[in-house]
Amino acid sequence: MPQKISENIQDYLKRIYEFTLSGSRASTNQLAQALGISAASVTNMVQKLSKTDPPYVTYEKHQGVKLTPFGQQAALKIIRRHRLIEIYLVEKLGYTWDEVHAEAEVLEHAMSPLLEKRIDAALDHPKFDPHGDPIPDINLEIPEIEQTALSSLEIGNKGRVLRVPNEDPQVLRYLGKFGIRPGAHIKLISRTPYDQTMRIKITETGNEAVIGPSLGNKISIAKDS
């Protein structure tokens, strides 16, 4: 039943993958918002995806969806392409890290297996995209990496940035300005009591930056031991 997988379906699967990484199910509304379409349309599509011959998702009414192993493979295939494109654009075509996500969102659907192979080879099999997200290897495997949220760092403690949120160009430009990027070493200076706003110091640049708690939750770090 699922021969050629449409661009729309590819994006659905990718979103479902992201929302179910933590183990929970992806809700209809969550997907509708992320994809910029109505909840009714999502219900429709999700029902379809649960009825293909090997189904892409398991779906229970009002309970949200999860990817089947089959659906997960399909999702990882696109995620691999997306992240390869991002790092290629930065490394080979002079893109900044805030420009690549939107571009990859489109190109991922137009990438042939051959192009994927050539780009992967040209970059010598890169392991991470520009935002620190791991690139599934040719067998679609992703290494497990120990990581915690920046928000969970204690005052005075240090860490190394592993990944930053990758979708919002404004946020990326803000982070880039201070040198907050994968590999950067940071130290938590202070945290305000009520709204939990953090001041952090970036070792490499000497900068200090202010990070709110919601952004802090989306930045992953490795805590210095």
Binding stretches for DNA (CB under 7 A): 6-9, 27-30, 35-48, 59, 61-64
Q: Cβ closer to DNA: 27 or 205? A: 27
Question: In this complex, which beta carbon is closest to a copy of itself, that of residue 111 or of residue 180?
Answer: 111
Angstrom CA distances, 125 to 14, 92, 95, 172, stand at 22, 14, 19, 24
Residue pair 212/197 in contact by the 8 Å Cβ criterion: yes
Q: Are the beta carbons of 70 and 56 closer than 8 angstroms?
A: yes
What is the token pair recorded at 168?
Answer: 């919002």
CB nearer to Mn ion: pick between 111 and 209: 111
**Least distance (Å) between residue 74 CB and DNA:** 13
Give the residue carrying structure tokens 């990859």: 104
When asked if residue 107 is in the footprint of a copy of itself (CB under 8 A), the reply is yes
**HEC string of 152-186?**
HCCCCCEEEEEECCCCCHHHHHHHHHHCCCCCCEE
C-alpha 106/C-alpha 7 separation (Å) is 9
Burial class of residue 171 (count of CB atoms within 10 Å of its CB; 0-12, 13-18, 19+): middle
Binding-site member from 101, 163, 181, 191 for Mn ion (CB under 5 A): 101
In the complex, the smallest distance separating the C-beta of residue 84 from DNA, rounded to whole angstroms, is 23
15 near Mn ion (CB under 5 A): no
Question: Which one-letter DSSP state was computed for residue 142?
Answer: -
Kindly state whether residue 168 participates in binding Mn ion, applying the rule CB under 5 A: no
Residue whose CB is less far from DNA, 35 or 222: 35
Q: Is residue 99 close enough to count as binding a copy of itself by CB under 8 A?
A: yes
Return residues touching Mn ion (CB under 5 A): 11, 101, 105, 166
Return residues touching a copy of itself (CB under 8 A): 89, 92-95, 99, 102-103, 106-107, 109-110, 112, 114-115, 118-119, 122
